[in-house]
Amino acid sequence: MLALPQRLVIGQPPNDGTPRFPQALRSHGDTCAARPHAYGESRRYARVKLVEPGGRPLRAEELPKDRNLIFHYPYASTPCFLLNLGRPVKPAARLKTAENRDYEWHGGVGPNRSIVAYSAICAHQLAYPTRDISFISYRAETSARNKLAHVIHCCAEHSQYDPADGGRVVAGPAPQPLAAILLEHDPAGDELYAVGTLGGEMFNQFFAKYQFKLAMEQGGGARQAVNGTATVSQLENYCKQQVKC
Ligand code: FES
């Protein structure tokens, strides 16, 4: 059964006694990305530790620069990109969902504030990385069809997103930024946690569009909420074929 997230309205505490999001984030570690601001659009899910395929906690300082890393959060079938952009990203970005709702993203985490995460479900027509093929990935370099470097590029219809600017759409037909995955960095252990989302989620549309495919692949587990840990893999190890354009 789908575990419904807690929708947070900044300025009003949740009615279950849970601390409001900024306080909840500050209670763990000293750095946190994409802290929700007064513009809302953030949702808290389980606080999940990011780990390597062998189960060892992922260390922020070990994240390779400009590599596509993938994990699933907040549901077992919803993929996300974890990126070390290798440079401090913008400290804040004001963005809008397709429904014209404002929100504010607050940059990267980690020692250099260069680590960001986004839903890997394209905000246009929901292309996403599967085990067989991925049309969407981060590209540090330009190419014949990729005039912009350092973007997340979806080759389906060439939507491009800037991961250093909150996932803002910089080209193509996508109607809104990629949803950001809220991260925490615990400096004591140099560990990373996913704690929620910010921006326009596409999960309901994703589950509806791929209902049959997900059921065939994962049975009823596709909508299982991720708890405890999430395994981070290199995209080339997760996916047989990456479409480059
Ligand atoms: S699905 Fe990504 S650009 Fe259309």
Nearest CA to ligand 1 atom 3: 157
Q: How confident is the model at residue 13 (pLDDT cuts 50, 70, 90)?
A: very low
Which of 12-21, 38-47, 174-183, 211-220: highest mean pLDDT?
Answer: 174-183
Is residue 245 predicted with pLDDT exceeding 70?
yes
Share of the chain above pLDDT 70, in %: 84
**47-85 b/e (C-beta count within 10 Å ≥ 16 → b):** bbbbbeeeeeebebeebeeeebbbbbbbbbbbbbbbbbb
Q: 179 CA to middle of ligand 1, Å?
A: 14
Question: Residues lining ligand 1, CB < 6 A?
Answer: 122, 124-125, 127, 154, 156-159, 172, 174
The pLDDT, as a whole number, for residue 88 is 85
Is residue 19 predicted with pLDDT exceeding 80?
no
| Ligand 1 pocket mutation pick from 119, 122, 145, 245 by most atoms within 8 angstroms of CB | 122
Q: 62 CA to middle of ligand 1, Å?
A: 31
Let me know: does 60 contact 192? Beta carbons within 8 Å: yes
The pLDDT, as a whole number, for residue 40 is 61
Is residue 121 predicted with pLDDT exceeding 60?
yes
The pLDDT, as a whole number, for residue 135 is 96
| pTM, rounded to two decimals | 0.85
Q: What is the pLDDT of residues 127-146, one digit of tens each?
A: 999 999 999 999 999 987 77
Is residue 12 predicted with pLDDT exceeding 60?
no
Q: 33 CA to middle of ligand 1, Å?
A: 26
Collect contacts of 202-208 with beta carbons under 8 A, ≥24 apart.
Answer: 202/119, 202/121, 202/123, 202/126, 203/74, 203/75, 203/78, 203/121, 205/126, 206/78, 206/121, 206/126, 206/128, 207/2
The residue ranking higher by pLDDT, 237 or 33, is 237
Which run of H or of E encompasses 102? strand 102-105
The residue ranking higher by pLDDT, 145 or 84, is 84
Q: 35 CA to middle of ligand 1, Å?
A: 27
